Structures are given as C-alpha cells and as structure tokens.
C-alpha cells in the first residue's frame, strides 16, 4: 500500500514485481547517465565554445553518437524481453480464478471449486471500520494462497475494464467476448489493493480490487467455509 511522501513504486509482493522494480531502477540509471552526459555537453558548449570544426565535423564523434544509442537500446531491450517472457509464462498453476468486469464491480469464480463464486462491490463509506481505506475496500475480497502459482482469467460483460494490482505486478485488460489470462505468485501474506485501470464509464473510479493473501492451509479452510455458507 502506498503511504505519504513515498518515493518509487509500491513494495513488491510477487517475484514478477521484484523483477519489474529491478528493471525500473536499471532503466532509470541509464536515463540519469544520458541526462548527465547531455547536460555536460550543453554546459561545455556554452562555457568553453565547444563548437569548433573538429567537434562538429569529426568522424569519431559521429561514430560515438551512432554506437552509443545502439548500446543503450541493447541494455534496455534484453532485460525487458526477458521480463515479457516471464509475464507470459504460465506453468502448472495451483489455482485458477476468473475475474469478470461489470459496470461497476467485479465478479470472481474459483474454477477449481464448484459453485465458489461471488460479486465484489466497493464498500460504502458508512460501512468502513477503523483502518479500512475509503474507495479501496470491498465487501468481498479475492482470497489467494501464498507461495502458489495463480492464474487469473480476465473478461468483461459490458465494456473494457482492466484488472490491476500494482504490488503484484499485474495489469490485464478485461475485453468483452475475449478471455485474457495472466499469472503470478504472491510471496507474502497481506492485503494488496488495486483498481480498474481503464476509463470504463461514470463510476470507473469506484470498482476497486482487494487481494488478501493467506497461507495455503488457511486458504483451504476459507474455501470450505465459504462453500458451506453458499
């Protein structure tokens, strides 16, 4: 969860988000070095008249400003392609859930459990208890086990939505008539908040997502209890 005066992204709660944070820092350092180099050249040109014929017409300079951008692109492309393959790779998930977007709430189906499904609406402000977040809390949370690969099938009943939880490194569009999928592994227990990340209508900002990660043994107990209540 974000907090006041925070710098950077939210703390990672999945191996995928940890990789995204490393790539963010890697790319940010490259941008910083490029900015320092460009600033140095500008200052040098202004203060030392670094605009003589040798600088402007030098073949060595042309080679440098051709090769250097190519090296920068390689340093960015290789790590990003690796992460893209990691995001698309879904190997033997332990649990599959289906998230369906509606105007303006989410419904969830646990496909490995018969009849385990529910709707998730934003909790009204008057129903919140101390410590809960306004506009982010829901009446029914998505409960998932930790240290278990989870596959999420995402679709929509009406318009395009987007199922996004920043701390897990997940953002997948929910498109009507299409079934998209993503996968992640929650590495620690806790509550992780997200929201629809597509402008889906008047109440777009009122369809939050709350993922509650608990140990596997507790998840089994929760699933059995919920099935009995249904």
Q: To 5 degrees, how large is the angle CA 99–CA 91–CA 10?
A: 60
Tens place of pLDDT per residue across the chain (230 aa): 566 777 778 888 999 999 999 999 999 999 999 999 889 878 877 777 656 655 656 677 788 888 989 999 999 999 999 998 888 877 788 999 999 999 999 999 999 888 889 999 999 999 898 888 999 999 999 999 999 999 999 999 999 999 999 999 999 999 999 999 999 999 999 999 999 999 988 999 899 999 999 998 899 888 888 777 66
What is d(CA 215, CA 114) in angstroms, rounded to the nearest whole number? 21
Write down the residue that tokens 């033997």 correspond to: 92
Full domain range(s) for residue 187 = 95-229
Q: Domain containing 179 — which CATH number?
A: 2.60.40.420
CB atoms within 10 A of CB 140: 16
Q: What pTM value is reported for the model?
A: 0.83
Note whether residue 209 is domain-resident.
yes
- Residue 214 φ/ψ, nearest 5 degrees: -135, 160
CB within 8 A of 108, min separation 6: which ones? 97, 98, 99, 100, 117, 118, 119, 120, 140, 142
Length of the chain: 230
95-102 β-sheet, strand order: 117-120, 105-110, 95-102, 149-156, 180-185
Note whether residue 8 is domain-resident.
no
Domain finish residue from 88, 120, 148: 88
Note whether residue 6 is domain-resident.
no
């Amino acid at each position: 969860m974000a907090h006041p005066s925070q710098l950077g992204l939210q703390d990672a709660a999945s191996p995928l988000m940890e990789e995204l944070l490393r790539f963010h820092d890697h790319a940010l350092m490259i941008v910083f070095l490029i900015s320092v180099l460009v600033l140095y050249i500008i200052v040098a040109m202004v203060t030392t008249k670094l605009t003589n014929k040798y600088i402007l017409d030098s073949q060595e300079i042309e080679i440098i400003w051709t090769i250097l951008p190519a090296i920068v692109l390689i340093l960015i492309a290789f790590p990003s392609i690796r992460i893209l393959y990691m995001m698309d790779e879904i190997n033997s998930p332990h649990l599959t859930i289906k998230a369906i977007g509606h105007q303006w709430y989410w419904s969830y189906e646990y496909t490995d459990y018969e009849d385990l499904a529910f709707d998730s609406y934003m909790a009204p402000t008057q129903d919140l208890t101390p410590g809960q977040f306004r506009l982010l809390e829901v009446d029914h949370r998505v409960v998932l086990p930790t240290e278990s690969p989870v596959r999420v099938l995402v679709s929509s009943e009406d318009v395009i939505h987007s199922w996004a939880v920043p701390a897990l490194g997940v953002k997948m569009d929910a498109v009507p008539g299409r079934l998209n999928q993503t996968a992640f592994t929650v590495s620690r227990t806790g509550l992780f908040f997200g929201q629809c990340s597509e402008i889906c209508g008047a109440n777009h900002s009122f369809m939050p997502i709350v993922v509650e990660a608990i140990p596997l043994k507790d998840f089994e107990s929760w699933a059995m209890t919920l099935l009995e209540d249904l």
